Amino acid sequence: MKSISKSLTSSKAFSHIIFLFGPTGVGKTELLLDLDPQRFSVINADSIQVYRHLDIGSAKASKEVQDAITHHLIDVKDPWEQFSVGDFITYADEACEKIHREGKIPVISGGTAYYFKHFLYGLSEAPPSDESIRAQVSAEIEAKGNEWAYTRLGEVDPISAQRIHPSDMYRVSRALEVYEASGKPLSSFSLPTAARNGMQPLVIGLVRDSALLRSRLSLRIKMMFDDGLEDEIRSLLRMGAESSWPGLQGIGYKEFFQAMEHGEWSRSIIADQIERNSRFYAKRQMTFFKSFSEVLWMDPADKESILTEIEQYCCS
């Protein structure tokens, strides 16, 4: 199968942007390798791959893949630093401008669903982060624990509590911060309904048979351990890693720290936990992605059809 290689003028390319999303393990990276690197560049939309030193557990694109096609928004933060959806929009906007100046088309690819949604529509009208309130909320969570924080969120903002996973303490903390700052739940602030900047992206969602996806996830986790995931964790510990670091909230990392908190380090138990959490996460991703309108749902095995859709969109 030939990759797409027809050139476009910069003015034509500037009006185009492609979203390529799907659940963890569905096969996004393999598909990116069929795009012509002279015509496309990738913007990472995975909330853990933005962090340095988190390579294996985040299934970050390998050096060979990054050499084959340019990737943006990988390794832009240290794992102890926060990276918000607002940061993603800022970084992604800058990357899009750079890619368009090069006469290429940006392909935003990843599995962090709310990155796509907010990049398309913008942020809600919720009050901006307040450093003093954030510190207050953070201190309370540290004193009372993550379970208390999620329970508290369920009391003041049950809608957000349903949307946010209990382990996603960045978003739990942000929702509590909004409530403390405004007296209103985060879910009460509406999102814009019109796309930013008149954006009209081609939105491709990748989907596989559920049994096949489970099999791929199982194989992927085995490969992560074979590739040295435990050594990566030990390297992070030598750096002084703490379970509270934002980058370590992702699946593939948090399971190790949870195990250590219980005085355990069993490869089989941790691997089972990663696989279980990955399956649940994939289901949540699909639920969120299905809320998008005008998505072309396609099987990543049908690369010819996907590339045809991309070609038709780029030439429209």
| Domain presence at residue 255 | yes
Give yes or no: residues 148 and 267 share one domain: no
| Domain presence at residue 153 | yes
Give yes or no: residues 220 and 163 share one domain: no
Q: Which of 173, 188, 203 is the last residue of a domain?
A: 188
Compute the distance between CA of residue 313 and CA of residue 202 in angstroms, rounded to an integer: 7
Give yes or no: residues 184 and 204 share one domain: no
Give yes or no: residues 181 and 216 share one domain: no
Q: Is pLDDT at 165 greater than 90 in this prediction?
A: no
Give yes or no: residues 216 and 181 share one domain: no
Give yes or no: residues 199 and 50 share one domain: yes
Give yes or no: residues 162 and 97 share one domain: no
Q: For residue 219, what are the domain limits?
A: 10-123+195-314
Q: Which of 154, 173, 188 is the last residue of a domain?
A: 188
35 with 69: CB under 8 angstroms? Answer: yes
| Domain presence at residue 226 | yes
Q: Which CATH number fits the domain that encloses residue 246?
A: 3.40.50.300
Give yes or no: residues 63 and 154 share one domain: no
Q: Which CATH number fits the domain that encloses residue 184?
A: 1.10.20.140
How many CA atoms lie within 13 Å of 153's alpha carbon, on the beta-carbon side?
31
Instruction: Give the pLDDT confidence of 105-162 residue by residue, as tens digits.
Output: 999 999 898 899 889 988 887 887 788 898 899 899 989 988 999 999 999 999 999 8
Give yes or no: residues 212 and 255 share one domain: yes
Place of tokens 């978003």: 171
| Domain presence at residue 5 | no
Place of tokens 């994939």: 282
Give yes or no: residues 157 and 213 share one domain: no
Give yes or no: residues 224 and 308 share one domain: yes
| Domain presence at residue 32 | yes
Compute the distance between CA of residue 32 and CA of residue 3 in angstroms, rounded to an integer: 10
Compute the distance between CA of residue 65 and CA of residue 67 in angstroms, rounded to an integer: 5
| Domain presence at residue 2 | no
68 with 41: CB under 8 angstroms? Answer: no
pLDDT for position 2: 39
Compute the distance between CA of residue 158 and CA of residue 108 in angstroms, rounded to an integer: 31
| Domain presence at residue 144 | yes
Instruction: Give the pLDDT confidence of 230-275 residue by residue, as tens digits.
Output: 999 999 999 999 988 999 999 999 999 989 888 778 899 999 999 9
Give yes or no: residues 119 and 74 share one domain: yes
| Domain presence at residue 3 | no
Q: Which of 142, 160, 188 is the last residue of a domain?
A: 188
Count of C-beta atoms within a 10 Å radius of residue 26 = 24
135 with 197: CB under 8 angstroms? Answer: no
Percent composition of the chain: helix, strand, coil (DSSP 3-state, to 5): 55, 10, 40
More confident: 165 or 147: 147
163 with 156: CB under 8 angstroms? Answer: no
pLDDT for position 266: 87
Compute the distance between CA of residue 62 and CA of residue 68 in angstroms, rounded to an integer: 10
- Number of domains the chain is built from: 2
The mean of the pLDDT values for the chain is 89
